[in-house]
Structure 1
Amino acid sequence: MEMQGVHKSDVVAPVTPLATGQVAAAVLYAASFAMWLYAEYAARQKRIAVAHRHVGGDDDEEQQAGSPLLKESSGPKSGKEVAAVQPSLVSQEVPSTDSDTPEICRVLRLDREALTACRPTLRAAVEFGTIMLWLYLADRTTVFPTSLKSYSRDLLGFLFLVLTVVAGVTSLRPARTPLLLNRSQTEEWKGWMQVLFLLYHYFEAREVYNAIRVFIAGYVWMTGYNNFSYYYRTKDFNIARFCAMMWRLNFLVAAVCIVMRNSYMLYYICPMHTLFTVMVYALLGIGAKYNDHRWGVFLKFAISFVVVFVCWDIKAIFYALWGFPPLRWLMVYTDPRHPSADPLHEWYFRSSLDRYVWIHGMACAYLHPWAEARLQRLDKLTRSQRLLIRAALASAAAGVMLLWIQHVYLLPKKEYNALHPYTSWIPISAYIVLRNITPNMRVYSMALYGWLGRITLETYIGQFHTWLATGIPDGQPKLLLAFLPSGYPLLNFAATSAVYVFISYRLFHLTDSFRQVLIPDKASGRVLVRNAVSAASAAAVLCAVGALIVYWSPAVQHYWPVALKRDVGTRFETRL
């Protein structure tokens, strides 16, 4: 087992005071917790009151049944008498509310009805805040120890093989129809790639670096493929759906950046997918009427190639574009352990590696109906014809893959990176052909990998702070989180993995629950603007409160981080 050496200077970090955003997040968590408790109390009191009214109503009925006087007077009432009684009952049980008042304002005024109605959202906010607190405690404090990474090719391969066998035996499921690149298949694809991507980080398996580059290209390819498929097929450029997609890609990473005091570019997958999603939306949304013409689509593909070439291959234009202050503020990144003179280098390097593959994904989405029709015709041929054509297709795909492996994949890291932007589509295309060569291969997929594929964003972000450890703001995850002593690496792997996957699963659902509140499906522009203004106003107030606390409270600035974090180096001293 090869130990991946980490020098002591790489892990020792000075104690840093809490930032305004971190204090604001703590205030929001405390306020959400208090409002949630009050909402639960109000709901309980309401249930008790309703129960008492029901009991009281039963007693009144019994008294009326036993009283001769009431019996005599309890004849059928006229319609006017019934109408005179019913409004008073309604007014007692359903208090009037101001429908024009935004829900968030009523919640902040501690309106009981609004708080009771918002209990699920408040409960989700408390759960989300608790998870953020866990990430901070696990990564930035001495609550849990850490250990060094160690690489074992045999162990990495064994873990992936066992998980694949378990997934194949227990979760192999048929899709409804044997469609080319159906959703179950693409989610499975994302799932097994994500497992290898995470194991690469956990073991720091540098020898599979080139394979990981292909996997990341596969994610970007799917960004182009899936978004083009949706917009081209549905012609739905509704701003609410676009905002929902931006929320999905950026809400969690924004929250983690605030709580952990990290740069957006530390989680480079998020800005990459955001950028290419915006580019697909703009490409098809602008001049949407031309999407129905073949020449219009081809022209848009050509425009996308030209834009990518100009903005990336001409480095001066890239730096001029992203050097614009608002964009630069988002995209700069410097590793504190290995400072760089060029803070935009990380963004240029990461985004340029996969700058063309999303266009190939769009092209595949455009050609999907044609390829699907050809596969259906192939399935209707005689058995000998099917075998011959499938064997030829499989041989061609395998041959191209072998040539790519021999002449590109096996190159050293730097040489491979130079060719990757222009060749990553080759293994992706070969995989698609081999994975869809027969109807059974198209229809069956492993649901376990599909489930993991749906939470890839959460597992990607969460790995930094609850499976691995960075230790400092903007630090790379050089260490492993440890629950058990250093003599039990596999048990520790199992324990931390279970917690990590559960947290990622919960973050996936919490992100969607908040999206449903702020960006409802098919929401109008007025609703989106109102919710955006309300959220921005609340964020501004929280930032102001956080700034005041940081400015006026030396205890918050210095004592709390020292008490929790102290010297990061003491956590690793015995292991170096």
Structure 2
Amino acid sequence: MEMQGVHKSDVVAPVTPLATGQVAAAVLYAASFAMWLYAEYAARQKRIAVAHRHVGGDDDEEQQAGSPLLKESSGPKSGKEVAAVQPSLVRVLRLDREALTACRPTLRAAVEFGTIMLWLYLADRTTVFPTSLKSYSRDLLGFLFLVLTVVAGVTSLRPARTPLLLNRSQTEEWKGWMQVLFLLYHYFEAREVYNAIRVFIAGYVWMTGYNNFSYYYRTKDFNIARFCAMMWRLNFLVAAVCIVMRNSYMLYYICPMHTLFTVMVYALLGIGAKYNDHRWGVFLKFAISFVVVFVCWDIKAIFYALWGFPPLRWLMVYTDPRHPSADPLHEWYFRSSLDRYVWIHGMACAYLHPWAEARLQRLDKLTRSQRLLIRAALASAAAGVMLLWIQHVYLLPKKEYNALHPYTSWIPISAYIVLRNITPNMRVYSMALYGWLGRITLETYIGQFHTWLATGIPDGQPKLLLAFLPSGYPLLNFAATSAVYVFISYRLFHLTDSFRQVLIPDKASGRVLVRNAVSAASAAAVLCAVGALIVYWSPAVQHYWPVALKRDVGTRFETRL
């Protein structure tokens, strides 16, 4: 195994006081825990009282005690039903006993979410758990991915309903196996596959353009509630982690990238939506998107002028504390510019999807010899283009490759799509295990920083590995931390959706969304005020315990010098 280089600054960090947001989050967690315990107690007392009166049964009582704010399997609600739900949220904030009792599932979800946030903080920013140094083994990385792929293929290969081109099961599988390699790249710091990781990230951005265009173009549904739900999905968890861990938004650069390109697709199709029905209208919008991207990214001065505007600059600046930079917008410019065009290619593929699907169906109806000949030609062309791209682009050194990546990342993506969908059986079958992992990619991406890897300091990059076991057991430690990490990511996925159902119900009216936003903002303002007062008046908080990486790792590092 090759031991990756680690500087002493990577394992030693200064004492850092808690921030107002962190204290406010702790207050919210404590309040939620207390309200949940009280709600469970009140509900139990109510059930006992009803049983003594011999009125109704447990089922009826549970139905009354079920949360009107969080119903996991209830169908879409009408506008009146949604409006009727929301006053209960205000009543909860006012500590109304009946409302607290009624929304026990929501309070339980809040306590679980807070507990996970506490775990992330303890695992990454305290000396509760040790850490270990990263080491790279090409053989081990390849072995792990191969074994997982074989297991996924043997145990979870499932057919879709119809052999549609780029069906949902297939794209989720695509995200899943890319995410596994992306995470292993971080865990082992496998620098030699850097260029491949750039292609995978381009694949995620491509799917942002493809999936959003497909939905809006097909359904013509520009409902603000759905858009808000998408923004919640992309940003709620990262916002919470940024507050608890005292990190910058840009540390998790995938989130702002997907948010930006999702907004751009929504605006592109939502503005002048009536022209989406005309071919020339769609082509004009594609041209406009190219021009906007060229002006805002290829002319660097305009990019810096746009994102240098105070509110945007505050959100997008980032400086690695271990490697300070004089340009805090460089990270955002570098990350977003790498994939600035590929989302447009995704939209173009979504627009051409019906045409391509029709051609594939015609191909499937040809004689056997004709099918074999055409498929062989398509596969040979795709493979040939892929080989040329590998030879002339992929094998370039990192800096040279990055210079070409924005203009060439669509090539391997297009070749993969052709090869993956060349026959009906290849289109219809997908590995459900990778599909499951593909659905929680956002949570695994964010969670890896603090419960699989370790950053140790605010805004720090994950330079070390979380360790549950002594240093002599790297594989057992990998298995143990991975199990905890994947489970936490899975729970965060469901909890994020649970809170979304509370604040952004399906088909909610604008009035309901505004009322919930005002309620949430008011509660956040109160929490921030309380947090600020505690920080100001409590010396114990101002001089809190270190958020350094573990002392034992520092000691081991000293012995290596």
TM-score range, shorter chain: over 0.9
For residue 195 of structure 2, what is the aligned residue in structure 1? 210
1:60 offset after TM fit, Å? 21
Find the aligned partners of 2:71 and 2:210 in 1 and give their Cα distance: 75
SS state at 2:158 partner:
strand
CA contact (8 A) 1:64 1:71 kept: no
CA contact (8 A) 1:144 1:481 kept: yes
SS state at 2:511 partner:
helix
- Measured at CA, do residues 306 and 79 of structure 1 come closer, stay the same or move farther in structure 2, by a change above 3 Å? closer
Find the aligned partners of 2:36 and 2:9 in 1 and give their Cα distance: 44
1:522 offset after TM fit, Å? 0.3
SS state at 1:142 partner:
coil
CA contact (8 A) 1:331 1:344 kept: yes
- Measured at CA, do residues 416 and 65 of structure 1 come closer, stay the same or move farther in structure 2, by a change above 3 Å? closer
Find the aligned partners of 1:126 and 1:66 in 2 and give their Cα distance: 17
Deviations 1:117-146 (A, max 9, x none): 110000000000000000000000000000
1:512 offset after TM fit, Å? 0.1
1:557 offset after TM fit, Å? 1.3
SS state at 2:544 partner:
helix
Find the aligned partners of 2:508 and 2:190 in 1 and give their Cα distance: 45
Deviations 1:439-488 (A, max 9, x none): 00000000000000000000000000000000000000000000000000
- Measured at CA, do residues 47 and 67 of structure 1 come closer, stay the same or move farther in structure 2, by a change above 3 Å? closer
CA contact (8 A) 1:13 1:567 kept: no
- Measured at CA, do residues 487 and 325 of structure 1 come closer, stay the same or move farther in structure 2, by a change above 3 Å? same
Find the aligned partners of 2:383 and 2:276 in 1 and give their Cα distance: 34
Relative to the length of structure 1, the TM-score reads: 0.90
- Measured at CA, do residues 385 and 17 of structure 1 come closer, stay the same or move farther in structure 2, by a change above 3 Å? same
Answering whether residue 53 of structure 2 is matched by residue 53 of structure 1, we say yes
CA contact (8 A) 1:65 1:71 kept: no
CA contact (8 A) 2:21 2:244 kept: yes
- Measured at CA, do residues 71 and 529 of structure 1 come closer, stay the same or move farther in structure 2, by a change above 3 Å? closer
1:74 offset after TM fit, Å? 43
- Measured at CA, do residues 8 and 385 of structure 1 come closer, stay the same or move farther in structure 2, by a change above 3 Å? same
SS state at 1:564 partner:
coil
1:334 offset after TM fit, Å? 0.2
Find the aligned partners of 2:75 and 2:337 in 1 and give their Cα distance: 85
Query: How many residues in Structure 1 have an aligned counterpart in Structure 2?
Result: 560
1:332 offset after TM fit, Å? 0.2
Deviations 1:260-289 (A, max 9, x none): 000000000000000000000000000000
1:12 offset after TM fit, Å? 1.1
Task: After TM superposition, list the pairs within 5 Å mapping 1:166-181 onto structure 2.
Answer: 166-181=151-166
- Measured at CA, do residues 155 and 43 of structure 1 come closer, stay the same or move farther in structure 2, by a change above 3 Å? same
**Who wins on radius of gyration, i.e. which is larger?**
1
- Measured at CA, do residues 572 and 55 of structure 1 come closer, stay the same or move farther in structure 2, by a change above 3 Å? farther
1:87 offset after TM fit, Å? 25
Find the aligned partners of 1:224 and 1:57 in 2 and give their Cα distance: 51
1:498 offset after TM fit, Å? 0.1
Deviations 1:35-69 (A, max 9, x none): 00000000000100110010799999999999999
CA contact (8 A) 1:18 1:561 kept: no
CA contact (8 A) 1:15 1:565 kept: no
1:71 offset after TM fit, Å? 46
CA contact (8 A) 1:518 1:528 kept: yes
- Measured at CA, do residues 40 and 414 of structure 1 come closer, stay the same or move farther in structure 2, by a change above 3 Å? same
- Measured at CA, do residues 232 and 54 of structure 1 come closer, stay the same or move farther in structure 2, by a change above 3 Å? same
- Measured at CA, do residues 430 and 50 of structure 1 come closer, stay the same or move farther in structure 2, by a change above 3 Å? same
- Measured at CA, do residues 211 and 562 of structure 1 come closer, stay the same or move farther in structure 2, by a change above 3 Å? closer
1:560 offset after TM fit, Å? 4.3
- Measured at CA, do residues 474 and 378 of structure 1 come closer, stay the same or move farther in structure 2, by a change above 3 Å? same
1:109 offset after TM fit, Å? 3.3
CA contact (8 A) 1:265 1:271 kept: yes
CA contact (8 A) 1:15 1:566 kept: no
1:245 is aligned, of 220, 223, 230, to: 230
CA contact (8 A) 2:15 2:545 kept: no
For residue 29 of structure 1, what is the aligned residue in structure 2? 29
- Measured at CA, do residues 412 and 45 of structure 1 come closer, stay the same or move farther in structure 2, by a change above 3 Å? same
- Measured at CA, do residues 513 and 83 of structure 1 come closer, stay the same or move farther in structure 2, by a change above 3 Å? closer
- Measured at CA, do residues 196 and 87 of structure 1 come closer, stay the same or move farther in structure 2, by a change above 3 Å? closer
- Measured at CA, do residues 71 and 24 of structure 1 come closer, stay the same or move farther in structure 2, by a change above 3 Å? closer
CA contact (8 A) 1:141 1:564 kept: yes
Answering whether residue 2 of structure 2 is matched by residue 2 of structure 1, we say yes
Find the aligned partners of 2:244 and 2:502 in 1 and give their Cα distance: 22
- Measured at CA, do residues 337 and 83 of structure 1 come closer, stay the same or move farther in structure 2, by a change above 3 Å? closer
- Measured at CA, do residues 530 and 82 of structure 1 come closer, stay the same or move farther in structure 2, by a change above 3 Å? closer
1:11 offset after TM fit, Å? 2.3
Find the aligned partners of 2:62 and 2:297 in 1 and give their Cα distance: 83
CA contact (8 A) 1:148 1:575 kept: no
CA contact (8 A) 2:67 2:105 kept: no
For residue 77 of structure 1, what is the aligned residue in structure 2? 77
Deviations 1:143-191 (A, max 9, x none): 0000000000000000000000000000000000000000000000000
CA contact (8 A) 1:471 1:568 kept: no
- Unpaired runs of at least 5, structure 2: none
- Measured at CA, do residues 86 and 172 of structure 1 come closer, stay the same or move farther in structure 2, by a change above 3 Å? closer
Answering whether residue 349 of structure 2 is matched by residue 364 of structure 1, we say yes
SS state at 1:185 partner:
helix
SS state at 2:132 partner:
strand
- Measured at CA, do residues 554 and 299 of structure 1 come closer, stay the same or move farther in structure 2, by a change above 3 Å? same
1:250 offset after TM fit, Å? 0.1
Find the aligned partners of 1:153 and 1:76 in 2 and give their Cα distance: 49
CA contact (8 A) 2:88 2:99 kept: no
Find the aligned partners of 2:109 and 2:66 in 1 and give their Cα distance: 50
- Measured at CA, do residues 568 and 121 of structure 1 come closer, stay the same or move farther in structure 2, by a change above 3 Å? farther
SS state at 1:572 partner:
helix
1:556 offset after TM fit, Å? 1.3
CA contact (8 A) 1:228 1:280 kept: yes
SS state at 2:5 partner:
coil
- Measured at CA, do residues 319 and 338 of structure 1 come closer, stay the same or move farther in structure 2, by a change above 3 Å? same
1:75 offset after TM fit, Å? 45
Deviations 1:496-535 (A, max 9, x none): 0000000000000000000000000000000000000000
1:116 offset after TM fit, Å? 1.3
Q: Which stretch of structure 1 is more off in the superposition, 327-336 or 56-65? A: 56-65
CA contact (8 A) 2:16 2:544 kept: no
Relative to the length of structure 2, the TM-score reads: 0.93
CA contact (8 A) 2:20 2:531 kept: yes
SS state at 1:384 partner:
helix
CA contact (8 A) 1:232 1:284 kept: yes
CA contact (8 A) 1:12 1:567 kept: no
For residue 301 of structure 2, what is the aligned residue in structure 1? 316
Identity of aligned residues (%): 100
- Measured at CA, do residues 379 and 85 of structure 1 come closer, stay the same or move farther in structure 2, by a change above 3 Å? closer
- Measured at CA, do residues 337 and 62 of structure 1 come closer, stay the same or move farther in structure 2, by a change above 3 Å? closer
1:107 offset after TM fit, Å? 1.6
SS state at 1:18 partner:
coil
CA contact (8 A) 1:241 1:522 kept: yes
CA contact (8 A) 1:146 1:572 kept: no
1:7 offset after TM fit, Å? 1.4
1:113 offset after TM fit, Å? 1.4
For residue 438 of structure 2, what is the aligned residue in structure 1? 453
- Measured at CA, do residues 67 and 406 of structure 1 come closer, stay the same or move farther in structure 2, by a change above 3 Å? closer
1:111 offset after TM fit, Å? 2.0
For residue 101 of structure 2, what is the aligned residue in structure 1? 116
1:10 offset after TM fit, Å? 2.5
1:81 offset after TM fit, Å? 34
- Measured at CA, do residues 59 and 464 of structure 1 come closer, stay the same or move farther in structure 2, by a change above 3 Å? closer
SS state at 1:240 partner:
helix
- Measured at CA, do residues 503 and 69 of structure 1 come closer, stay the same or move farther in structure 2, by a change above 3 Å? closer
- Unpaired runs of at least 5, structure 1: 90-105
1:568 offset after TM fit, Å? 8.5
